[in-house]
Amino acid sequence: MKRIALALLIIIVIVGGAVAWRMSNELPQIPAHRIAKGSFVDQVTTNGRVEPSVWSTARAEREGLIISLTATKGHAIAKGAPIALLDSREAQADLASANARIEEAKAIIQSLESGGRKREIVEIEQALKQRAAEKSQAEKDLAIAERLLAKNAGTREEVRLLKDKLELMQLQIATLEARRPTLVASTDIASAQARLREASAAADLARRRIELSTIRSPIEGIVYQLDLKPGAFVTPGTLIASIGRIDDLKVTVYVDEPELGRIRKGMPVSITWDALEGNRWQGTIESIPTQVVALGARQVGEIECRIANPERTLIPGTNVNAFIETRKLESVLIAPKEAVRTLNGALGVYLIENNILTWRKIETGLSNVTTTVIQSGLKEGDQVALGPEANLKPGAKVAISN
């Protein structure tokens, strides 16, 4: 047993020594970057809010209960197409009642204008016909009596009686003709016409209420806001939906006050939305601010940008990330910002030459969040060390990790 334990101890010592020797002689692995020429983009990174470039709202014009929605949020809609329908049963009943009163008033006016009460008119007409026939016969009898008197075959008394009878007929006819207009008083017609106007006005009002029961889209576009549900009660002015054209969007970008001096009209802008990672929308600045306003704890200028959205994937009301390209340099030496370090108050990089770290002073130009322009000290193809500063020492031998 003692021999076995001794053998195991010897093996452990040998293996441990080999591992220690290997670790002491193995080169440290560090990441590296090869310097190359490329495009450098200087940009302002901030946030913004999306709005449609052209938009309008559909609002209720009368009170009522929403019984159905005929539009869907996020879907296209034509100008004048219905969005929501209000309950119009009461207005339908009012219209039917008004139409009935209109027909009644029209019938009364027609009856009055045709001469008044039908039975009385018929009696007068019959009496006029009878008196006209009697008058005609009396005129004939008088003519005969006057001829007989002229031949001394008749008497003056008979002629006088026939004349009296004829005058009576004429008086009766005149009385009947004077009575006929009195059957239709002007006040009766005026009253009937007033009732007709009132019923027509009521019908127009009911039709208008029925028409306003259908809430329609004021423009062609996309319904991007529609929050009400069937059963909701609305009053005049209640917002029903917001409609906009979203193939071309307006984005209000909030730029912090110190950065405003870098902003110019026409500069390129790109937009990203956290909800759709990997997507990027492009546009330009349309207007720059004329004042600085408070935005929470920030003092910002509100920049208006026009962003193309041909696939309509970016929707109004969203909060987005905005990147304003303030300057672009082509074919310049660029290095990752993490490669640039400070040693003894000087800027430089750890250059890797033949797996040996060498400190190299450099001069830099513009830089952004990730990249720095190298003005001098490096050339294309040089390799510079990345990674934590604690692992880097001038003169150290290293291996480049993949």
What are the percentages of helix, strand and coil residues in the chain, rounded to 5? 35, 35, 25
Over the range 81-110, which residues count as b (16 or more CB within 10 Å of their CB) and which as e?
ebbbbbebeebeebbeebbebbeebeebbe
Fold of 42-53+245-328: Elongation Factor Tu (Ef-tu); domain 3 (2.40.30)
The β-bridge relationship of strands 281-287 and 32-34 is unpaired
| Burial of residue 23, with CB atoms counted within 10 A of its CB: 0-12 exposed, 13-18 middle, 19 or more buried | exposed
Are 61 and 239 contacting, i.e. CB atoms less than 8 angstroms apart? no
Contacting residues for 175 by C-beta, under 8 A, at least 6 apart: none
The yes/no answer on whether domain 26-40+331-400 falls in CATH 2.40.420.20 is yes
Fold of 56-88+216-240: OB fold (Dihydrolipoamide Acetyltransferase, E2P) (2.40.50)
Residue 110 and residue 293: Cα distance in Å, rounded? Answer: 72
Residue (of 356, 337, 357) closest to 347 by Cα position? 337
Are 212 and 140 contacting, i.e. CB atoms less than 8 angstroms apart? no
Do 42-53+245-328 and 56-88+216-240 come out as alike in CATH topology? Answer: no
Q: Where are the domains of the chain?
A: 26-40+331-400, 42-53+245-328, 56-88+216-240, 95-207
Q: pLDDT 10s per residue in the chain (402 long)?
A: 556 666 666 666 565 554 444 444 578 888 999 999 999 988 999 999 999 988 899 999 999 999 999 999 888 899 999 999 999 999 999 999 999 999 988 888 887 766 556 666 677 778 888 888 888 888 888 888 888 878 787 788 887 888 888 888 888 888 877 766 665 555 677 888 899 999 999 999 999 999 999 999 999 998 988 989 999 999 999 999 999 988 889 999 999 999 999 999 999 999 999 999 999 999 999 999 989 999 999 999 999 999 999 988 898 889 999 999 998 899 999 999 999 999 888 999 999 999 999 999 999 998 888 899 999 999 999 999 998 877 788 888 988 886
pTM for this prediction: 0.57
Residue 111 and residue 107: Cα distance in Å, rounded? Answer: 6
Residue 188 and residue 194: Cα distance in Å, rounded? Answer: 10
The β-bridge relationship of strands 399-400 and 29-30 is parallel
Contacting residues for 318 by C-beta, under 8 A, at least 6 apart: 49, 50, 273, 275
| Burial of residue 248, with CB atoms counted within 10 A of its CB: 0-12 exposed, 13-18 middle, 19 or more buried | middle
Residue 307 and residue 324: Cα distance in Å, rounded? Answer: 12
